[in-house]
Structure 1
Amino acid sequence: MTKNNLKSKTAKGLATMSTSSIVVFTLQLLTTLILARIFSPEEFGIVSAVTIIISYTDIFWMMGIGPAIVQKKKLDNTDIKTGFTVSFIFGIICFVLVYLLAPYLTQLLKIEEVMILRIIALSFILNSFGVVSLSLLQRNLRFKIIVVKDIISTLSYGFFAIFLGILGFGVWGLVIALLIKYFVATGIAWFMQPIENPLGFSKSSFKKLIHFGGGYTISRFFSVTANQGDYFVIARTLGAHSLGLYNRAYQLMAIPAHLMGQVIDQVFFPVMSKIQNQNNRLSNIFILLTTVFATIYLPMSVLIFLLSEELIIALLGEQWIEASVPLKYLALFLFFRVGYKICDPIFRAKGFVYNRAVIQIIYAMMVVIFSYIGSQWGLIGISLGVALSLVCNYTIMVIITYKLINFNIKDFLRSLIPVILFMFSVIPFLIYLKNILNMTLTNNLMVVLLIIIIFSAWAFLSFIIIYFMFWSEFTKTQVKIVVNYMLNRIKK
């Protein structure tokens, strides 16, 4: 693939996946708002607790086969058949194990819903049919199909969760809707990327896939520990009600971060795999993405921090007001939550999956330890413990990335410092504006909307100042590329 052709496909993929992220983000947000008025914090807490176990088991039945198929330089039909067979067999094994061990696993999390865990475990078998198909779509940069899958599966979850919730299914409404989402996503991936005669096995192919997949699996295990460690601590120390509150707050904060992480993973991982030996091009992508993320997420974190109570009341209702506490402190560190995801595809493209696993071990240990220490102060303490872990993890990832691709440190700092200065300069103004509006308006949603509008205007002016006075010529060039491409897409 030529350099220009790769650039074109990357730009199209980025535009497509970004559009998808906005659509899916909107759908998930609307679903969250509606479901919060149908289901209780305890019901969300039960599903969140069960999901902890499912997340861990997902790692082992997948065995990193999907990413290995994306990353492998030369892929043949034997690899595809071997990958499908291994994923399917491991999916069945994990389902049987979870089904048999469900009574002990639920006791570990201090919940009683054994049958819920057993039913959700069916997702292992459902998802095993789509792993290879989805990986091939990603490898071939067929992002429009992935977009369709994400949107339709999200819609299906929202529709059935709301419908079953209204009918009074309770927590089972969320469980059934989740299984339907998996079924729809797998069905679309399989239909759009079918695999003829998928069963087959090659020992040599298995060894090659599992070498990469093994390192990825270790990394994923500790990644899940990092992402679910705080949930586990809350389930053990504070109970399902607190876990439900924390889950909704975390989801509101994590939706934009998670979706941008998907864009990075699904678009840039296959692209970076194709240019894995070209450090200069990898450095350009890394700094460009850092600039974009800093510009978006640092100001966003300030807004959510200052408006956490108003947002929770306006979006979820007054019964969820306690969720504003974890939302406030988690949102303040939003950039670190998404920033390290830029480094992940670089590690995998370079084949440094075992190095990444070591970092994930450190990160996971920090999340569990800091969360447990913080649990003495309730959800505030746990939120701050998670935030501290995010900052440490981001710092480690950037340092190792520098050693891998030797990016320009000055350009990297120039992409961050101006936005950080703007963020701190605007805080006093926003606090003053919030106090004035709260005294004059009683509608929380109106307060939020007015502050966002005024802040957006201020941010636009500040962006112009930053662009001309602080950013380097390199950063300006990258911003021009993005803006020009977006304008051309709009014209078309």
Structure 2
Amino acid sequence: MFSERDAMTGGRKLTETTISGFGWTSLAVGARALLQVIAIIFLARLLAPEQFGLFAAAMVVGGFCAIISELGVSPAIVQRPALEPRHIRTGFTLSVAMGLVVGLVAYLLADAIARFFQMPELAGVVRIMALGFPLRGIATVAEALALRTFRFRWLALIEAGAFGIGFIVVAPILTLMDFGVYALVGAYLTQNIVRTLILLVGQPHENRLMLETRAVGELLYFGTGFTIAKFCNYVASQADNMVVGRWLGPVALGLYGHAYQLMAAPAILVGQALDRVLFPTMASVQSQPERLARAYRGGIFACATVMLPAGVVIAILAPEIVHILLGPNWASAAVPLRFLALGMLFRTSSKISDSIVRATGAVYARAWRQGVFAMAVFVGALSGQQWGLIGVAIGVLCALALNFLMMAQLSLRLSAMSWRTFGQAHLPGALLALILGGSSFTIATGLRGTGAGSVPVVGGTVLVAALLVPLLIWMRPQLFLGPDRERLLLALANVGPMRMRRGIALLQRRVS
């Protein structure tokens, strides 16, 4: 029976591990985003837009196949309170088998997929990409065990490194050799090969094939509920695009898609990092309600403190952000971005709620809520499209708010936390949003009045906001550092760099 995790769940140790893991995971997600930008800048000058379109269509198929092939085995292994060798062997067998089956089905259906997308060249791309599904299946259990034992730093380096080798090294070389879209496919396969090899070597486990009936039932009971919820969430992420494309046309879809991406980028950075760290952390204390509630409260506090002010500032600076990142031809994307930015907290906080729900095994309660969420996105977008992109953005914002409340209600029930405590965890973020929103609006309006360009408006506003945050924390640490401030500062003092530790020591004196 695996007990490595149990040795790491002491209060201070777990807090330090969580903070360190969040830091490393955030760096990895940020590094990968930066590498993606670098790859796009370079490859966009070597490949035609239609080649990127072929790869994007293949990745849509790949995303759907990944949901089916995983069968929730990885999170089931992370979540299990007592993990035995039979679970490891059965999980490995299921993952390998499903990877092979899904890869074979994708290979055989490649022509039908190409006809559906009306892209004849897509068939060859899908067939080669199908080779990657068995690779991911082979590494599924190793990754789950690494998460279970809190190897966040190692996993973060693998994710960023494998992507860099694939898309920064291999893709340009293959592109210069005139492989066209297959340069991107080769980069994708290289990324998966590197990732799989490192995971298998660095996280060895029992890999003899076995299908024990009881272990299959225990893993798939959780895994099936997880897969249903993930599928519904995937539908929710595409429903608004489908409505905009069908009823408002390709130009509107391009504007809306870019606006949504600008909103989602920071939300994904924070949400993915928190979720990847909090899920195994919460799973390790799922039988200890007090510690589970504290972990959840800390997660929503961190989320609200970052995303509420960020959403307000992005909404204020939306025209300039669009102009800088997308160019003057995309100015119409600023209005939907303003409304969508206000939903950044809802999108990110739902990820935190997902963590506690999966950690406690309540996957079917999560699944039907994600089904309602998918329906709400579709209805909201469809109802709003008669008022254009503004109406769609407002409809999606309402759906995000509904999902936020549904998942919060479930999380509070599982953690035995009150709505009052939930609200108090959001108070520091709300106050920061109010203060930074007021100052940002004043500064941005003033700079616009002087005729300043987009870069000075954004730069000046963000600079003042960045100076205000540490000042406010220094003036009122009891308020802005949340209810677990002493534990938070102690953990930061133990895991942070030396220069940070000096400042934390001063804050500790003020708090005490």
Task: Name 2:296's counterpart in structure 1.
Answer: 286
Q: Which moved further from structure 2: 30-39 or 177-186?
A: 30-39
Cα distance, 1:202–1:241 mapped onto 2, change above 3 Å: farther
Q: Offset at 1:341?
A: 1.4
Q: Does the CA-based 8 Å contact 2:305-2:430 persist in structure 1?
A: no
Match of 2:280 among 264, 270, 274: 270
**Structure 2 residue aligned with 1:114:** 122
Change (3 A) 1:183 1:303: farther
Alpha-carbon distance, 1:443 to partner: 4.8
Equivalents in 2 of 1:104, 1:8: separation in Å? Answer: 52
Contact 1:42 1:240 in 2 (8 A): no
Equivalenced residue count is: 488
Gaps of at least 5 residues in structure 1 are none
The CA distance in 1 between the partners of 2:429 and 2:181, in whole Å, is 43
Q: Is the 1:145–1:192 contact (alpha carbons within 8 Å) kept by the matching residues of 2?
A: no
* Aligned mates of 2:435, 2:269 — CA distance in 1: 28
Question: How far apart are the structure 1 equivalents of 2:111 and 2:196?
Answer: 29
Matched residue of 1:130: which SS?
helix
Alpha-carbon distance between aligned partners in 2 of 1:75 and 1:136, rounded to the nearest angstrom: 10
**Among residues 132, 138, 144, which one is paired with 2:141 in the alignment?**
132
Partner of 1:404: 414
Aligned Cα RMSD in Å?
3.2
2:294 maps to 1:299? no
Structure 1 partner of 2:497: 490
For residues 23 and 142 of structure 1, do their structure 2 counterparts lie closer, same or farther at Cα, with a shift above 3 Å needed?
closer
Does residue 58 in structure 1 map to residue 66 in structure 2? yes
CA contact (8 A) 1:418 1:466 kept: no
Counterpart residue number, 1:123: 132
Alpha-carbon shift at residue 25 of structure 1 (Å)? 1.1
Task: Evaluate the alpha carbon distance shift between residue 165 and residue 388 of structure 1 in structure 2; reply closer, same or farther with a 3 A threshold.
Answer: farther
Q: Quick one: higher RCO (CA 8 Å, sep 6+), 1 or 2? A: 1
The SS at the match of 1:199 is: coil
Rounded Cα–Cα distance in structure 1 between residues aligned with 2:181 and 2:318 = 27
Equivalent residue in structure 1 for 2:485, among 472, 479, 482 = 479
SS at match of 2:193: helix
Deviations 1:198-244 (A, max 9, x none): 43322222122111111111121112212233344445556666655
In structure 2, the partner of 1:352 is 362
TM-score (norm 1): 0.87
Q: Give CA-to-partner distance per residue, 1:368-418, whole Å, 9 cap, x none.
A: 232333344554443333222111000111112222222143332122234
Question: Which deviates further from its counterpart, 387-396 or 373-382?
Answer: 373-382
Identify the range of structure 1 (204-213 vs 257-266) with the bigger mean alpha-carbon deviation. Answer: 257-266
User: What is the deviation of 1:152?
Assistant: 0.6
Q: 2:161 aligns with which of 149, 152, 155?
A: 152
Q: Which moved more, 1:152-161 or 1:244-253?
A: 244-253
Partner AA of 1:91 in structure 2: G
- Cα distance, 1:98–1:380 mapped onto 2, change above 3 Å: farther
Call closer, same or farther: CA 1:402–1:214 in 2, change over 3 Å: same
In the alignment, which residue of structure 1 is the partner of 2:395?
385
Aligned ranges for residues 418-429 of structure 1 at < 5 Å? Answer: 418-429=428-439
Which amino acid in structure 2 is aligned with residue 490 of structure 1? P
Q: Percent identity?
A: 32
Q: Tell me if the contact between 1:273 and 1:349 (Cα under 8 Å) persists in the aligned partners.
A: yes
Contact conserved, 1:84 with 1:132, CA < 8 A, in 2?
Answer: yes
Secondary structure, counterpart of 1:351 in structure 2: coil
Deviation for aligned residue 1:448:
1.8
Instruction: Label 1:45 to 1:156 Cα distance change in 2 as closer, same or farther (>3 A).
Output: same
What TM-score results when the alignment is normalised by the length of structure 2? 0.84
Instruction: Specify whether residues 4 and 57 from structure 1 end up closer, same or farther in structure 2 by C-alpha distance, changes over 3 A only.
Output: closer
Separation in 2 of the partners of 1:105 and 1:485?
51
SS across alignment from 1:194: coil
- C-alpha separation in 1, matches of 2:396 and 2:115: 25
* Distance (Å, rounded) in 2 between the aligned partners of 1:450 and 1:407: 40
Partners of 1:418 and 1:195 lie apart in 2 by: 44
User: Of 224, 238, 241, which aligns to 2:234?
Assistant: 224
CA displacement 1:148-206 (0-9 Å, x = unmatched): 11221232354155666677766555444333333332222122113454433222221
The separation in 2 between residues aligned to 1:235 and 1:52, in whole angstroms, is: 16
- Is 1:18 the counterpart of 2:27 in the alignment? no
Structure 2, unaligned runs of 5 or more: 1-5, 502-512
**Could you give the per-residue CA deviations for residues 45-80 of structure 1, whole angstroms, max 9, x where no partner exists?**
654444333222212211111111112233233322
Q: Matches of 1:174 and 1:275 in 2, distance apart?
A: 42
1:194 aligned residue: 204
Distance in 1, Cα, partners of 2:62 & 2:308: 32
AA matched with 1:69? I
In structure 1, C-alpha distance between the alignment counterparts of 2:449 and 2:51, rounded to whole Å = 36
Output the CA distance in 2 between the equivalents of 1:346 and 1:211.
Answer: 17
* Cα drift, residue 301 of structure 1: 0.9
Report if the CA contact (8 A) 1:109-1:235 is conserved: no
Structure 1 SS opposite 2:497: helix
Tell me the distance in 2 between the aligned counterparts of 1:164 and 1:329: 41
Question: 2:488 is matched by which residue type in structure 1?
Answer: V
Residue identity opposite 1:218 in structure 2: I
Q: Secondary structure at the match of 1:129?
A: helix
**Does 2:343 align with 1:337?**
no
Cα distance in 2, alignment partners of residues 91 and 125 from structure 1: 4
2 and 26 in structure 1: CA distance in 2 versus 1, 3 angstrom threshold: closer
**Aligned partners of 1:124 and 1:360: how far apart in 2?**
25
Secondary structure, counterpart of 2:484 in structure 1: helix
**Structure 1 residues 214 and 260, CA, compared in 2 at 3 Å: closer, same or farther?**
same
Single out whichever of 211-220 and 435-444 deviates more from structure 2: 435-444
